[in-house]
Amino acid sequence: MSGEPLLAIDGLRVEFGPADAPLAAVKGVGLEVGAGEIVGLIGESGSGKSLTCRSVMRLIHPPGRIAAGSIAFEGRDVLAMSAKELRDFRAHEAGMIYQDPFSSLNPVFRVGEQIVETLRSNLGMGKDEARKHAVELLDGVGIPDPERRALSYPHELSGGMRQRVMIALATASRPRLLLADEPTTALDVTTQAQILALLQRLRAERGMAVLIVSHDFGVIAQVCDRVAVMYGGHVVETAPIGTIYEQAEHPYTRALMESVPELESAGKRVRRPGIPGSPPELTEDLEGCVFAPRCAYARPSCKDVSMALEPVAPDHRTACPVRPFARTAATTGAPA
Partner 1 sequence: MLSYVLHRMALSVVVLFGLLVATFFIIHLVPGDPVTIVLAGHGTPQAIAETRHELWLDRPLLEQFWLYLSHTLQGQFGTAFTLNASVGELIGQRVAPSAIMIGYGILWALVIGVPLAVIAALRPNGIVDNAIRLGTTFTFAMASFWLGLMLALLLGLELHIFPVSGYETGLSGILKTMTLPALTLGLGLAAVVVRTLRSSLLEVLSSEYIDAARSRGLSEVRVVGKHAMRNALMNTITILSVNVGFLIGGTFVLEQVFQIPGVGSLLLQGVQKRDYQLVQALALLSGTAVVLAGLAADILQAWLDPRVRLARR
Positions touching partner 1 (CB under 8 A) are 57, 59, 61, 87-92, 94-96, 98, 100, 103-109, 117-118, 121-122, 153, 155, 166, 169-170, 172-173
Between CA 193 and CA 200 the distance in angstroms is 11
Query: Minimum CB separation from partner 1 for residue 162, in Å?
Result: 11
Query: Minimum CB separation from partner 1 for residue 182, in Å?
Result: 12
Query: Minimum CB separation from partner 1 for residue 139, in Å?
Result: 20
Query: Minimum CB separation from partner 1 for residue 173, in Å?
Result: 8
Indicate the residue among 156 and 304 with the shorter CB distance to partner 1: 156
The answer to whether 66 and 60 have CB atoms below 8 angstroms apart is: yes
Query: Minimum CB separation from partner 1 for residue 97, in Å?
Result: 8
Q: In b/e form, how buried is each residue of 93-107, taking b as 16+ CB within 10 angstroms?
A: bbbbbbbbbbebbee
Indicate the residue among 48 and 95 with the shorter CB distance to partner 1: 95
Indicate the residue among 166 and 230 with the shorter CB distance to partner 1: 166
Indicate the residue among 9 and 248 with the shorter CB distance to partner 1: 9
Indicate the residue among 89 and 291 with the shorter CB distance to partner 1: 89
Between CA 17 and CA 275 the distance in angstroms is 30
